[in-house]
Amino acid sequence: MSKSIFELVDQLPTNNMTIMVLRSLDFVVPGQWDNLVGFTNTIRTVTGETDESLIQQIGDRAVCLYNDKSQGYQRAMWLYQTVDRTDSALGAAALANKVGEKIPLMGFLNKITPKADKAQTIDLCMKLVVELVAFCQINGIPGDSIGDFVGSLGDYSGESLMRMAALVCIDGLIPLGPDFILKALSTLNGTNPTELEQNNTFQSVKDLIPGGNTAGQLNFINQSFDSVKGWMSGFVSGRGLTPENVINNMQKFVEISADKLDYLGAFLDMTTNYYEHTGTQTLARRLIERAVAEI
């Protein structure tokens, strides 16, 4: 990693498309997410400390933990960053596909870009698996600990809960509709290892996905999504979420044309990096909490 954790947290933006989109989702998890930026500010907020020398000690220890490559913090950060980078490229491909559907003269785009729904479905599933693997890296447990991850979802709060809320809304409900869970399971069941190999996100992160080979990794992705479907279904129904109310709230923060909603999923993929942004905040919080406990 070329940047230290304090640089990454200090350089988090205070206002851009990602921030506006996340603020629009406050109605999903009210009051859970505050755009906490700045490493020293994060230490003060997380710990409540005012003693400058102790704040310095905590910061130094957190930086040391992050720099220790025997720990999983840098790998988790890399996962959060990578899934957003490939997501942006996938959004461009999905958008090109939509243009191909709308404009007959550009129909050739359908032949060279993935079908938007399938691409978005694999994107959703890969992001979920990245969350699982990053959780395992941060907590120092085996990367295939699906049960531990599912059990932890009930304790998710703050930026981690906002990240899952954004996953459900931005990568589930908006591009795939209210039955996105069933659609994703059906698509996964119809995906073969060769198709998965052709997915850029999978190619980028596959070395950290359990399974041994592509077929085993596809099985792990299936298991992971199947294990989390109950949590996602409860999350959606418990909050009364629909594509319509998510989009309506988003329109209060982001200018979205009502006749361009079929482009919205791809547009959000291209213009936001909510995984990297909230992932950086999650890592900072976990490092600070551990540093305090050790000091």
Across 138-152, 242-256, 257-271, least confident range? 257-271
Quote the Cα angle for 161-67-48, to 5°. 50
Under the banding of pLDDT at 50, 70 and 90, the label for residue 185 is: very high
Ramachandran angles phi, psi of 119, nearest 5°: -60, -45
pLDDT at 127 over 80: yes
Q: What is the pLDDT of residue 112?
A: 44
Write down the domain spans for the chain. 5-294
In this prediction the pTM is 0.90
Q: What is the pLDDT of residue 200?
A: 84
pLDDT in tens, 207-235: 999 999 999 999 999 999 999 999 999 99
pLDDT in tens, 130-181: 999 999 999 999 878 999 999 999 999 999 999 999 999 999 999 899 999 9
pLDDT at 113 over 60: no
Mean pLDDT score of the chain: 88
- How many whole angstroms separate alpha carbon 193 and alpha carbon 15? 40
- How many whole angstroms separate alpha carbon 209 and alpha carbon 191? 17
pLDDT at 10 over 90: yes
- How many whole angstroms separate alpha carbon 71 and alpha carbon 83? 20
Q: What is the pLDDT of residue 100?
A: 56
pLDDT at 108 over 60: no
Tell me the average pLDDT across 103-119.
Answer: 56
Q: Are 247 and 102 in contact (CB under 8 A)?
A: no
Torsional sign, CA 118, 219, 88, 228: positive
Under the banding of pLDDT at 50, 70 and 90, the label for residue 106 is: very low
Tell me the average pLDDT across 239-263.
Answer: 83
Q: What is the pLDDT of residue 109?
A: 47
Amino acid occupying residue 138: I
